[in-house]
Chains A and B, each alone.
Chain A
């Protein structure tokens, strides 16, 4: 189905199953340890060997010698393979650096080879015996160092610079001018499940159990790197312990497992050790951002300028900091540009809400600062600069933009009117403040297919290569099929993450929820037709409910349709470009913090997100997405920072003790409210995802709350104690 006109009424609108708060259908499997993750497919794999990655320990240069003799002789070792043994064509789709380096080293901890042994422990011990000699070269590791040479550059095929009107002239002429710079640190996805793969060959066919968000892309990557036909690659990833973007691509574990399995004739498992994840894979790069906003005296924005600088490997993408600035606030004169400098650090790539997660921090602090300068309440200032058309493409109207309602509804619920002047609210030793920020993330849509089958026992089976990275895909797909076919969720079996199934959108860019359910919707429409035909009913008029199909005064059981065998159908959804509409998800974040007036420790006290994203398919899993995202936002605001050691060209804090993600004790009461709306222009489900929306703006709201608490403005995140105490009065 090509989706190019607003959706009329559908069975989904009845809302008997979709939109209800269903607990995760895969929950019991996960809580009882029976969900099989990539590293856990041991059954039926006799002779499984274990691989341990040999990492480069310089950032840039050449391997001059690699001595594997000692490692090969170590107990339990089957083989040691290095780049010299491999012929890998290119790299994974969407990645820039090679998954296996050598002789050229492109970044610290780039894989150079694999030790293969009978046990994991033996492989790990032997990896330490591999001696690598390098000729190191000087590299570029400092964003400040390369900023002057950074070039305008777009991310993921988008434009580098966009303009509307005459930004410079309008900014110059503006009655109120605002011009500040902000910095955000580099982040690691730091998901719980490490990258992991098990590979097995049968003849010239590869089976790869791996942890991956995009099955079809990974089939393509593996086939092209191994120079075999895609039909020879079978990828399975039914359960994934988080990805945050980092599992959009195949990584070293996948290709090395495949090559080692081919070489040894055994199945081979490779799990990336935690310490390698930070430098071996991808990160969200550090950014510097400049905001120039010119307004009239009353606060109407006349000129909006947002420029970002980040560094990446040659050929990589910049962090697209200005992406959402194109669409959030009004203003007839606009300049948005991303710049990229060449750095020899590990590759920067798409991490949850790429660009927007950190772009929104700078923009939302700037809006807060400017509101104060204008003497306006920060909510009023945002409301007066709302825009129902896409400010950068004024011919397009947002299909479903309720930012103002999110802000105002949130203000009411949060008690925004209690907010006091900066630095004036004190509770004992605590300085207390509130902050607000807009959340915006584009509602991307992507081609997605599914198969659905009505079994002879009346159960429904859904199959698609869609992934569930902890997000709830299993559940919303079960709900969709349940609603369309009139069966409860517990009669639907959803099978995901298998390249043998129809290709889906995969998980990323918060497009997965709406796209994959829309694809399944189409498959279900097709199956309903089959069923109706079998029952000699009019498919258009038939109502599927409670295991029955009703039309006019006829009532049939679903079972009647499958008396002679199961019925199945496939379906797929495609989206054209809209000339008339822009699609986005919107929200408002509210945060209250306490700042210890002695130590500068910031402790978040309350958080509220009010979100508008069309129909919410399942309020429980959607809420989980948003509170998880808010938590990630707390990390970005207060503690997460990859620290570059410019001498070694690496992120030196490469473990979870030194790269500090929030812990439970950091996360206080979180409230999430979804506005009750639907977006018929978006897709057949009239729904959008929220997994990235929940992150956008959080860091800004926290920074604004910290300012409100202390009266001291910080323009750099994370805001750590030394930055905070620098602005606090002497307590002694």
Chain B
């Protein structure tokens, strides 16, 4: 681990002021791992843990504003979340472990980085870790990686669960810049696709920007599902996950995790829900570019959507 300086801040403003050229650390459950493995070697850490931003508050519109530092465990246990945004609680609880969720924060979770094996071996080429070095996953071990939204530069999937639920809920991410400006980014645009030019950008944040909150619109009603498929029953990232909110009349929203660099959803796919899983999957995977190792994810996702829709149908019957 490279030596670094470390500052604690007690407000968002202080964080932004201290932030230029520094890395924010929240729960540290992702960043510290990367520092130990020398995947990232920041010179400066700004610790947000005393900077507030840890409340869940109602918004004027009837939604909820979740502070960036709200811990994953607290968020999943919040009675308003459980009652009105159950898909979010379920998605969070499907991830990591109790200990990690106690530490992990809302913003940190959104910003978690890929679990691509080549990203983790610093001896091997990876455009995400070292722009321009190449992408070892092309023709490599890509079983866990993305099947759509990829490019020649990067194949990796977004590994998170929480963001998939936020996608079906149409959450927006609230960010503040060092210059004092604030803006919101719809969750659908928060995670970037690799595209054709370097560096491979992962997030829509600009340098020095701080996530202050995630805002949920008023409750969408319906029945909420989060179905995560993985190689073991717990403590594993999704091969495929399905977040869904299905209304009593059978229409609804669906987003997939584990298949793309961002939570994967589309209006066309949502419109196809009444026609069943195959139609939804066809809309979602149009233009998919799977590798030999991970082509099964399309079939698996289709089947998992079918499982969710069957459960929803049963619940309505």
Chain A interface residues toward B at CB < 8 A: 57, 75, 121, 124-125, 128, 275, 429, 596, 598-601, 603, 638-639, 643, 645, 647-648, 652-655, 657-658, 660, 662-666, 720-722, 725-726, 731-732
Contacts and interface: CB of A to CB of B under 8 A. Distances in A.
Contacts of A658: 115, 117, 120, 144
Interface in B228-265: 229-237, 239
B296 A721 contact: yes
Interface string B212-232: 000000000000000101111
Given A654-B121, A655-B120, A725-B299, 14 more contacts: A125-B38, A275-B120, A275-B121, A599-B307, A600-B300, A601-B229, A645-B141, A663-B236, A665-B232, A721-B231, A722-B296, A722-B300, A731-B303, A732-B276
A429 B307 contact: yes
Majority SS at the chain A contact face: loop
Contacts of B236: 657, 660, 663
A726 B121 CA distance: 32
A603 B233 contact: yes
Nearest to B117: A652
A52 B144 CA distance: 31
A720 B143 CA distance: 11
B306 interface: yes
B127 interface: no
A720 B139 CA distance: 21
Contact of A732 (B118, B140, B278): B278
B141 A75 contact: no
Nearest to B115: A657
A598 B303 contact: yes
Contacts of B231: 638-639, 660, 720-721
B303 A653 contact: no
A657 B38 CA distance: 17
B198 interface: no
B195 to A, nearest CB: 25
Nearest to B309: A732
A722 B302 CA distance: 13
Nearest to B123: A57
Contacts of B144: 658
Contact of B38 (A128, A603, A731): A128
A121 B1 contact: yes
Contacts of A722: 296, 300
Contacts of A648: 124, 136
19 contacts: A75-B3, A275-B37, A600-B300, A601-B229, A643-B141, A643-B143, A652-B141, A657-B236, A658-B120, A660-B232, A663-B235, A663-B236, A664-B234, A665-B232, A666-B232, A721-B296, A722-B296, A726-B296, A731-B303
Interface string B113-131: 0010110111110000000
Contacts of B278: 732
Contacts of A652: 117-118, 121, 140-141
B140 A599 contact: no
B229 A731 contact: no
Interface in B105-164: 115, 117-118, 120-124, 136, 139-141, 143-144
Given A598-B307, A731-B307, A666 B140 contact: no
Contacts of A599: 227, 229, 300, 303-304, 307
Contacts of B83: none
A124 B239 contact: no
A639 B233 CA distance: 11
